[in-house]
Copies of this chain bind each other. A is one copy, B any other.
Amino acid sequence: MKAKLASRVLSGDTIAAAKLISGIADEAPGAFEEMSHIYPHTGKAYIVGVTGSPGAGKSTLTSNLIGHFRKELMTIGVIAIDPTSAFTGGALLGDRIRMQQHGEDKDVFIRSLATRGLQGGLAKATIETIHIMDAMGKDIILVETVGSGQIEIDITRVADTTLFVMTPEAGDAIQMMKAGILEATDIFVINKADRGNADIIQTDLQTMLSMRHWLPDEWQPSIIFTEAIYDKGTAELALEISRHREHLTVTGEMQKRKKLRLRLELMETVEGLIKDSIAGIDHGKYLDKLIDELLKGKINPQAAAQQLVKRLASDLGRVNNNP
């Protein structure tokens, strides 16, 4: 990778952006050097996370939001996260075909991130892809996942506004509580609201939300009804996203979320550096030896960890002193 991708990304070149995103995911040499030219041009985009149960209509809803924001002349980035398995490969991407209606629009840039095969963590890869789209000049970045559980919660840690899309079918509400999604959601979207039980799930949600004590300045999650397949409710949802954005700005919460995101990115980068350093001690033999001693009961995990950190510090210190 030559050190000129970044300048092409900054001029909005989608081919260069796609290359850099792949480079980051693969930890290609030079990719981090490129990123150092990207960072100074970030911090302007607004990030919307689209989470929810499989089959709830997240892709259709995302496509509707793209259409709406484009009418407002905003430029859009979309990151589609696929927790695909080795068995199914990228087959789930078929779902995303609906978004292809925007594929010809040069102001809509859509990339998929597969969770398998990522060298670093998912959160880190997502944040770096956000940086690249941000530096391209995208106004809004939609991060959509087909996953559930932990992945959803990770997404909420990188988004400014997090949507949770659900259908009126029973079971969703309980699933949600289990995964801790309730605390992590800014706007609940009840999609397929033409179905019978929309009011029941609304009542369930309101009951659960009322069980929590809300601080005066705190955002209380709102509930929006949509019928994504008919593009109904899209304008209301977009307005609610604006209302939440306004709230974050006025209360200073936006700055706090940015800081949390930076802390997460920093800690994940540190973790990556340290894992690499550990794997590199005596070309991995040191770690293997420690694990063998653990297996034989010659040392306990706490003592082994302390020994490893000590060795790590000594090795890193040596590198620091011999530049």
Whole-angstrom distance between the Cβ of A181 and the nearest chain B Cβ = 8
Q: Which of A12-20, A145-153, A233-241 contacts B (4 or more CB under 8 A)?
A: A145-153
Give the residues in chain B near A263, CB-CB below 8 Å: 287, 291
- Please tell me if the beta carbons of A146 and B178 are within 8 angstroms of each other in the complex: yes
Give the residues in chain B near A278, CB-CB below 8 Å: 267, 270
Q: What is the 8 Å Cβ interface bit string for chain A, positions 180-192, against chain B (1 contact, 0 not)?
A: 1111000000000
B116, B211, B274, B295: the one contacting A259 at CB < 8 Å is B295
B212, B300, B305: the one contacting A87 at CB < 8 Å is B212
What's the dominant secondary structure at chain A's contact region?
helix
Give the residues in chain B near A212, CB-CB below 8 Å: 86-87
Give the residues in chain B near A183, CB-CB below 8 Å: 85-87
Whole-angstrom distance between the Cβ of A301 and the nearest chain B Cβ = 5
Q: Is A3 an interface residue (CB 8 A)?
A: no
Give the residues in chain B near A277, CB-CB below 8 Å: 309
| A contact residues vs B (CB 8 Å cutoff) | 32, 35-36, 39-40, 43, 54-55, 83-88, 92, 115-116, 146-151, 171, 174-175, 177-183, 208, 211-212, 255, 258-259, 262-263, 265-267, 269-275, 277-278, 287, 290-291, 294-295, 297, 300-306, 308-310, 312-314, 316-317, 320
